[in-house]
Amino acid sequence: MKSIAIKFKFQAILGFGMLLSAVAATGSLFAADHQKMAEEAGCFTCHYMPPEAGQKATTAETRVDPRLKKGAGQWCVSCHAMESMTLHPTGVKVTAGSGLPLEDGEFMSCLTCHSPHATPVASQPWAPLAISPSSHDSFSTYLLNHPNNEGQLCAKCHPAGTDVFQGSMHSPKAFDNRNYAGSESCKECHLDIYDQWKISPHARMTRRFRNIDNQKEIPVEELGVPREKIAWVLGSHYVHRFVAEASGTLVVLPKIWDLNKKEWLPVNDYGWRSRYWLKQCAGCHTTGFSAENDSFAEAGVGCEACHGPGLNHIRTRSPEYITSLKSMTPERQEMICTSCHTSGIDNSGQYNFPVGYRPGDNLMDFFSGLTPKPGQSPENFHGDETYEDRKRQWEFLKSRFFLATGLTCDYCQNFRDIKTENNSQYLTQDQYCLTCHADQKDHPPESPGTNCIVCHQPTRHLNGHLSVHDHRFKFE
């Protein structure tokens, strides 16, 4: 009886989640014609081409390969709210053999249980009557591909007596990278902001090795791995670090390339063998990281890293579906920065970044285990797990952004190793600008020369405060 009760509870979650999303998307249970929408989208939105491309198509079975593409469930998510979709995990790797359709033959998908080709109503209940009462002698099937009124569909993966999905230490938002649109989607309406962001270090934080302009000048053979194993390059201002495939995962390699001197730094990160890119780094070097299958929506720190998932905003153009920094308190605004620029672990203890945190949330609900950064002292680090202590670490790191010499980051090591003309501890405003723009030769003779901010002032609001929408580095 216990296993039956569990199955009914699980199916109630599954069916009710689909009920909510159907109402949210269409306004009623049966208004959307999913078969028609699937036909308009085309078979190959979700399916592969037939195994034999030259085969003459005579039936629906020969026109498409029945296997689902990786990411086919995105077709569903484009309309249905993630709040309901995350009531059952998707994108996770499961054991084949259930007879249900899986993405690439091994990943759970919305389409594993729900099909646009299934009948929307039936004369017999396909789900427990408690969540699918009859309406005019018809029962909603929730587009299930198999009856589940007694848990038959769930039993294909969860046999009687086994535990079923009961939630996670992560919040549902830890799994929602399907709800991200990518920064390129913002370009159409916010071109000026996009253009500022595109040339920023954030935008270029993580790139494919083949996409960087200076790859030929880097002796990558000295990294100790084949060139084709290099997956990502980190950094674009002072140094490059390299992420490579190794033993079935991604690791950060120990050698660090100095972009100014065009040589390897004399120090190595000797902890690299235990520094796993996906568990320890990716959440802050990418946008839309998901703990569901250790994937991310966009390489680099994109628009949605600060504004939250934007797929529904792009689709509707409504400001309701994007996070506005102007609506936040100053503390919540600053939490966006401290979520990556301070140390800690997530609620599961598996990741070195706050999995599931989204701009506007209380960071302290997702991040703990604050540890001191090199150079912090008892005066600016108390170790009491308060946000005030985390903020002190952020203030300490900000004071190092203009440091001219020495260790300023325990991950990158010496990535600010730039001497100033007067050998001072900190770079001046102009010296900081010239770390990137030393080759600028198009200033007219009557210009102020290297007094950069005379002409290149940060954008400000009418009240004189710096605009959060100016994505350049700014000076007070």
Binning pLDDT at 50, 70 and 90, where does residue 199 land? confident
Q: Is the pLDDT of residue 55 over 70?
A: no
Q: For the chain, what are the domain ranges?
A: 2-167, 178-369
210-230 in b/e form (b: 16+ CB < 10 A) is: eeeeeeeebebeebeeeeebb
Compare 166 and 463 and report the one with higher pLDDT: 463
Alpha-carbon gap, residue 12 to 321, rounded angstroms = 28
Share of the chain above pLDDT 90, in %: 30
Binning pLDDT at 50, 70 and 90, where does residue 13 land? very low
Q: Is the pLDDT of residue 4 over 60?
A: no
Average pLDDT on 61-83 reads 72
* Contacts of 36 by beta carbon, 8 Å cutoff, 6+ apart: none
Q: What are phi and psi of 109, to 5 degrees?
A: -140, 165
Among 79-88, 310-319, 355-364, the range of highest mean pLDDT: 355-364
Tokens 């253009």 found at: 195
Q: What is the pLDDT of residues 359-399, one digit of tens each?
A: 999 999 999 999 988 778 899 999 999 999 999 999 988 87
Q: Is the pLDDT of residue 401 over 80?
A: no
DSSP 210: G
State residue 282's pLDDT score: 96
Alpha-carbon gap, residue 382 to 117, rounded angstroms = 59
Indicate the SS3 state at residue 103: strand
Tokens 């001046």 found at: 428
Alpha-carbon gap, residue 98 to 82, rounded angstroms = 25
Average pLDDT on 234-244 reads 90
Look at 39-43, 144-148, 365-369, 445-449 and tell me which has the smallest mean pLDDT.
445-449
State residue 458's pLDDT score: 65
Q: Is the pLDDT of residue 233 over 70?
A: yes
Look at 5-14, 200-209, 212-221 and tell me which has the smallest mean pLDDT.
5-14
Compute the mean pLDDT over every residue in the chain, rounded to the nearest whole number.
78
Binning pLDDT at 50, 70 and 90, where does residue 158 land? confident
Residue 472 and residue 462 in contact, taking contact as beta carbons nearer than 8 Å: no
Q: How far is CA 98 from CA 14, 153, 158, 290, in A?
A: 18, 10, 10, 25
Compare 408 and 387 and report the one with higher pLDDT: 387
